[in-house]
Structure 1
Amino acid sequence: MKNQTILPYEHVLVLGLAKSGTAAAKVLLEHGIAVRVNDGKTAGNEQSINELQALGAEVITGSHPVSVLEDVTTIVKNPGIPYEHPLIQEAKNRQVPIITEIELAGQLAKGPIIGITGSNGKTTTTSLTGEMLIQSNLSVKIAGNIGTAAVEVANNADSEERLLLELSSFQLLGVQSFRPKISALLNIYEAHLDYHKTVDNYVQAKSNIFKNQTAEDMLVYNADDSTILRMVKDARARLVPFSVRKWFSDGACLHEQAIYFQGERIVDVDDIALVGEHNLANILAAISIAKSCGATDEAIKYVLKTFTGVRHRLQFVANIQGRSFYNDSKATNVLATQKALRAFSQPVILLAGGLDRGNGFQALKKDLTHVKKMVLFGETAKKIQSIANELKIESTIVDTMDEAVKLAYNVSSKGDVVLLSPACASWDQYRTFEERGDMFIQAVHKLA
Structure 2
Amino acid sequence: MVIKGKKFLVVGLGVSGAAAARFLKKRGASVTVTDKAKEEDICPLAGEMRKMGIKLELGRHKIDSFENSDVIIISPGVSDTIEPIKRAKEKGINVIGEIELASRFIKEPVVAITGTNGKTTTTELLAEMLEYSGFNLFVGGNIGNPLIEYLDKNNRAEIVVAEISSFQLDTINTFRPKIAVLLNITEDHLDRYPDFEAYAQAKAKIFKNQQNEDIAVLNGADRFIRLMTENIKSQKCFFNFHNANEKGAAITGENLVVDISGGQKYFFDLSSINLFGGHNMENIAAACLGALAAGGTIGGIEKALRNFKGLSHRLEYITSINNVKYFNDSKATNVDAVSKAIESFSRPIILIMGGRCKGGNYDILGDQIRRNIKKLILIGEAGETIKSALQHKCKGGIKSADTMEEAVFFANQAASPGDIVLLSPACSSFDMYRSYAERGEIFCKAVAILRETDDRQKR
Task: Please give the secondary structure, in 2, of the residue aligned with 1:194.
Answer: coil
Q: CA deviation at 1:180?
A: 0.7
What does residue range 35-434 of structure 1 map to in structure 2 within 5 Å? 35-42=31-38, 43-156=40-153, 158-244=155-241, 250-262=247-259, 263-368=264-369, 369-391=371-393, 392-434=395-437
Range that drifts further, 430-439 or 8-17: 8-17
Separation in 2, partners of 1:447, 1:174 = 46
The amino acid that maps onto 2:9 is: L
CA shift digits 1:43-88 (9 cap, x unpaired) = 2212111111111211111111212225301111111212331211
Asked if the contact 1:247–1:255 (Cα under 8 Å) also holds between the matched residues in 2, the reply is no
Separation in 2, partners of 1:306, 1:7 = 43
Q: CA deviation at 1:8?
A: 7.9
CA shift digits 1:68-117 (9 cap, x unpaired) = 22530111111121233121122122221111101112123232111101
Separation in 1, partners of 2:342, 2:186 = 17
Asked if the contact 1:241–1:248 (Cα under 8 Å) also holds between the matched residues in 2, the reply is no
**RMSD over aligned Cα, in angstroms?**
1.9
Separation in 1, partners of 2:241, 2:449 = 40
Asked if the contact 2:352–2:407 (Cα under 8 Å) also holds between the matched residues in 1, the reply is yes
Task: Please give the secondary structure, in 2, of the residue aligned with 1:48.
Answer: helix
The amino acid that maps onto 1:116 is: I
Separation in 1, partners of 2:4, 2:345 = 51
Asked if the contact 2:380–2:402 (Cα under 8 Å) also holds between the matched residues in 1, the reply is yes
The amino acid that maps onto 1:223 is: G
The amino acid that maps onto 2:424 is: S
Asked if the contact 2:141–2:162 (Cα under 8 Å) also holds between the matched residues in 1, the reply is yes
Separation in 2, partners of 1:400, 1:253 = 42
- Cα 1:32–1:126 shift into 2, 3 Å: same
Separation in 2, partners of 1:240, 1:317 = 36
Q: CA deviation at 1:176?
A: 0.7
Asked if the contact 2:217–2:236 (Cα under 8 Å) also holds between the matched residues in 1, the reply is yes
Structure 1, unaligned runs of 5 or more:
none
Separation in 2, partners of 1:128, 1:160 = 18
TM-score, structure 2 normalization: 0.92
CA shift digits 1:289-310 (9 cap, x unpaired) = 1112222223322322332421
Q: Percent same amino acid among aligned pairs?
A: 38
Asked if the contact 1:266–1:301 (Cα under 8 Å) also holds between the matched residues in 2, the reply is no
The amino acid that maps onto 2:386 is: I
Asked if the contact 2:219–2:241 (Cα under 8 Å) also holds between the matched residues in 1, the reply is no
CA shift digits 1:204-232 (9 cap, x unpaired) = 21121111111121111111111111122
The amino acid that maps onto 2:401 is: V
Given the alignment, which residue of 9, 13, 16 partners 1:13?
A: 9
Separation in 2, partners of 1:306, 1:343 = 21
Asked if the contact 2:187–2:360 (Cα under 8 Å) also holds between the matched residues in 1, the reply is no
Structure 2, unaligned runs of 5 or more:
452-459
Q: CA deviation at 1:250?
A: 2.1
Task: Please give the secondary structure, in 2, of the residue aligned with 1:409.
Answer: helix
Separation in 2, partners of 1:297, 1:238 = 21
Task: Please give the secondary structure, in 1, of the residue aligned with 2:207.
Answer: coil
**Residue correspondences, number:** 444
Asked if the contact 1:6–1:108 (Cα under 8 Å) also holds between the matched residues in 2, the reply is no
Range that drifts further, 383-392 or 100-109: 383-392
Task: Please give the secondary structure, in 1, of the residue aligned with 2:230.
Answer: helix
2:26 is aligned with 1:25: no
The amino acid that maps onto 2:14 is: A
Separation in 2, partners of 1:24, 1:401 = 36
- Cα 1:301–1:341 shift into 2, 3 Å: same
Q: CA deviation at 1:10?
A: 1.5
The amino acid that maps onto 1:386 is: S
- Cα 1:301–1:198 shift into 2, 3 Å: same
